[in-house]
Amino acid sequence: MEHLQAVIPAPSEKQAMDWSLVLTSQGIEHGIERDADSLRLVLCLRPEDRPRAIQAIRLYERENRPRRWIQPIKAADLLLDWRALAALVPLPVLFLFTDVADLHELKERGLMDGHRVLDGQWWRLITAMTLHADVAHLAGNMTTGVLFLGLAMGAMGAGRALLSSLLAGVGGNLLALLVNGPEHRSLGASGMILGALGLLVAHSWQQWHAGEARGTLWPRALGGGIFLLLMLGASPRSDLAAHLGGFAAGLLLGMILAFWQLRVLPSPRADNLCAWAALASVTGAWILALRG
């Protein structure tokens, strides 16, 4: 091992073993020795390989850092990401502005209006998801939203799930416009939230396809998702087309994400970009709504 002159000290024996596996996976020749002075384990490698080894270790540590906002639900073998609460904060904030502060013009600028969407105000497909008719409507979407969106974020990554759910909600509003025509007017985040439910159903397909779950998981998850869709989104006063479209779009996007994740290791950087894209979409849509 005379040619392995460079060293990387490890904070603990466990991390030395973990880092050794990382370097092995990257094809970096190395060895493990105990430093005579500190008695710590160090990774020994060729000097020219040291920058690449440090980069590989940094990526590994970033991807495996503790996630304090994510808690396991052991009975369901799922993770609940409590950052869904932060993602849904705009809903009560906008409700306070539009209803409590009696700024109904703001609501009129953002709600889903078929005629105005067809006239080019496409941003209403997004802004309508942040508005609610009353306290009961808001409370229902907040409670189911934290559950479905939080579970989808825990399963597929916070940014990917948030952006996919938002796009699913847009898909639901488009289907509602197609079914109901230009006279259609609506508001609410139900399409986006049921889109998150569709993502969860797709995640069960990913587990089943990867052999991580029994063969009955996928049909049971699909049946359960459809049951929840009918129970939560098929009341006489609800926008059934938007709910159905949101669920179907979430299921489709989730299948695409699952298919991709089975072949490519998800990148934390890509997940962060998706989160920023979702934030930029909502912010930009409201800027256009206020200018229009």
Q: Report the catalytic residues.
A: 190, 243
Dihedral angle of Cα 217, 221, 223, 225, to the nearest 10 degrees: 180
User: What is the rounded CA–CA span in Å between residue 191 and residue 162?
Assistant: 13
User: What is the rounded CA–CA span in Å between residue 165 and residue 242?
Assistant: 13
User: What is the rounded CA–CA span in Å between residue 61 and residue 26?
Assistant: 15
User: What is the rounded CA–CA span in Å between residue 263 and residue 280?
Assistant: 28
Question: Does residue 187 contact residue 144 with C-beta atoms inside 8 Å?
Answer: no
Residue 229 forms beta bridges with which residues?
A: none
DSSP string, 5-68: -EEEE-SSHHHHHHHHHHHHHTT--EEEEE-TTT--EEEEE-GGGHHHHHHHHHHHHHHTS--T
Give, in order, the Cα–Cα distances in Å from 274 to each of 156, 252, 258.
Answer: 12, 17, 16
